[in-house]
Chain A
Amino acid sequence: MFLNFETVETQSLADQIIKENEIERYLEKGRDFINDEEIWEKLNKHVEPDPVRVREILAKSLAIETLEPDELAVLINVKDPELGEEMFATAREIKKKVYDNRIVTFAPLYCGNLCINNCLYCGFRRENRVIKRRVLTIEEVKREAEVLAGEIGHKRLIVVYGEHPATGAEYIRDTIEAIYSVKVKTRRGYGQIRRVNVNAAPMSIDELKMLKEVGIGTYQVFQETYHHETYAQIHPKGTVKHHYQWRLYCHHRALEAGVDDVALGVLFGLYDWRFELMGLLYHARDLERKFGIGPHTISFPRLEPAANTPFVQETKYKVSDEDFKKVICLIRLAVPYTGMILTAREPAHIRREILGLGIVTQTDASTKIGIGAYSDRYTEQELERQQFQIGDPRSLEEVIRELAEMGYITSFCTAGYRCGRTGERIMDLLVKGKERIFCKLNAVLTFKEWLDDFASEETKKVAQRVIEKEMEELKGMVPEGVYQKLLEYYQRIENGERDLYF
């Protein structure tokens, strides 16, 4: 369905969408939890950190405890290269302790690019006339899912929607149901999308309850920037997105609605990265304090070029590659239990380098972000169909092979979500270091499924070595009964059964 660009009355929409009582209930003394002055004060207070204090903080991270804002401020200020190395080593150790050796892969699926907002940095902004506007019909969404599940082999999607009445909560609900209904025969078994995560605009509690009913995975909303003044400048007045607190508390509303996996993120490049890191930590801590559940994942996209969007070139807050690596390390140390998503916005050489650090947990591959791009089968990027330009368009198979060569096992696991291991129950397992065992077991099984259904012989050879190593390690990590069950499931998958998990 192609739609003409249309102007909508955004102010009246803002009045309809934003429910002040679903913000005020979370405020304390009328304020939100981001105090800009306090953040700068902390960052400026710890400019010359004592190495002893730094090591105490690293020990706390390693014990999988969320840091205090002052502690993160100390780590942000570390300039000593040796201490820096220790920080990276600790971050690597934490990732292994919480998630073991697996990298989960997924794909984005853009369902529409109509948007009522006018964010200066975004290719989909309302006033950007060069963008070809389109919203997928439910049949088109199914066709996209058939390619993703049946030809590429993805099991997990992040489905992305612009903020517009045409792609509101009811449309999102219908697309989730449509995606889950798809089942495609593959070489040895069948392909299905087992977890639909959603990246969409902030919603009300009732709307989020509707999405919970149809089995939403993670509800992902990025604050973009936590800095109040910058936020107001780049999200123009009169748009829905201008309302900082409506966005800031959408994860609170999701948790209140029973959607117990929520995801945070910042668009790095809009404001000072040190401030943004502090903002992420305050956000995670507020969720933990109020609901006992922190962010399921944190994303850290950097601004990328977009069609007819000069803001991207003009920003003075671009994050260099070196600082980007620090950002990733610091997120792992600050919120040790969280999943961390590195996306194909980044070029292949940067992704390779960052994955090699052993800190992140998830990445996308075979990524296409044009509307209808998977089933239309076009291969070149077309900026007028995309929100931004992606940096790494490699296929899932290429990424998997490279991960295997680096010693990582690719996981398509969605098990936690399928058996009630979400929210505070997964939090407990993550913090105690038990989740890594589930990760490892399910990585072996889901990787085996993908290899049997989709991999070339060349990839299978490299991957088989990784599977053997993982299974050998599991032998020494789990009770004999569990290991025997793993062998049984592995054989059943070999015989064509699918969706077996621990």
Chain B
Amino acid sequence: MERETFISKFTALAERIKQTYGVNLWLVEVLGKRHSYVAGHKEDSFLPPEPIYLNDRFAVVSNEWEKIPEEERKQLISFLKEDLLK
């Protein structure tokens, strides 16, 4: 999938998660040891950021994963992974 299309899909999903669960999700690009912010809602709490890697290049980060029901979280990650493969 085109990078821009993927980012815009991610942004919409992150917005929906924010509206539903009040949880911030943001997308980072893995560049060496740097995780470079790409899109989404950045943290506004001090809890540690926990990345879930979609592939070698991208990760989704949140500091409140546990507030998203486990099944939905799995679906979200698998949906994003599939999108990256397209």
- Whether the Cβ atoms of B34 and A215 lie closer than 8 Å is yes
Q: How far is the CB of A197 from chain B (nearest CB, A)?
A: 11
Q: A214-B31, A215-B31 are in contact. Are A420 and B46 (CB under 8 A)?
A: no
- The stretch of B8-16, B47-55, B69-77 that contacts the partner chain: B47-55
Give which listed residue, B31, B35, B38, contacts A419 with CB less than 8 A. Answer: B35
- Whether the Cβ atoms of A423 and B45 lie closer than 8 Å is no
Using CB atoms, name the residue of chain A closest to B49.
A419
- Whether the Cβ atoms of A441 and B28 lie closer than 8 Å is no
In chain A, residues 459-498, which have Cβ atoms closer than 8 Å to a Cβ of chain B? 478-479, 481-482, 485, 489
Residues of A within 8 A of B48 (CB): 485, 489, 500-502
Q: What string of 1s and 0s marks CB contacts (under 8 Å) between A418-448 and chain B?
A: 1111110100000000000110010000000
Residues of B within 8 A of A423 (CB): 37
Q: Number of A-B pairs whose CB atoms are under 8 Å?
A: 73
Q: How far is the CB of A403 from chain B (nearest CB, A)?
A: 24
Using CB atoms, name the residue of chain B closest to A483.
B46
Say yes or no: is A216 at the interface (Cβ < 8 Å to chain B): yes
The secondary-structure label for the interface of chain B is strand
Question: Total interface residues on A, using CB and 8 Å?
Answer: 35
- Whether the Cβ atoms of B46 and A417 lie closer than 8 Å is no
- Whether the Cβ atoms of A417 and B47 lie closer than 8 Å is no
Residues of A within 8 A of B78 (CB): none
Say yes or no: is A127 at the interface (Cβ < 8 Å to chain B): no
- Whether the Cβ atoms of A176 and B46 lie closer than 8 Å is no
- Whether the Cβ atoms of A418 and B33 lie closer than 8 Å is yes
Using CB atoms, name the residue of chain B closest to A438.
B46
Most buried by A among B34, B35, B47: B34
Say yes or no: is A258 at the interface (Cβ < 8 Å to chain B): yes
Say yes or no: is B23 at the interface (Cβ < 8 Å to chain A): no
Using CB atoms, name the residue of chain B closest to A261.
B34
Interface residues of A (CB under 8 A from B): 176-177, 180, 194-196, 212-217, 258, 260, 414, 417-423, 425, 437-438, 441, 478-479, 481-482, 485, 489, 500-502
Question: Which 4 pairs, one residue from A and one from B, show the smallest C-beta to C-beta distance?
Answer: A215-B32, A420-B37, A215-B34, A419-B49
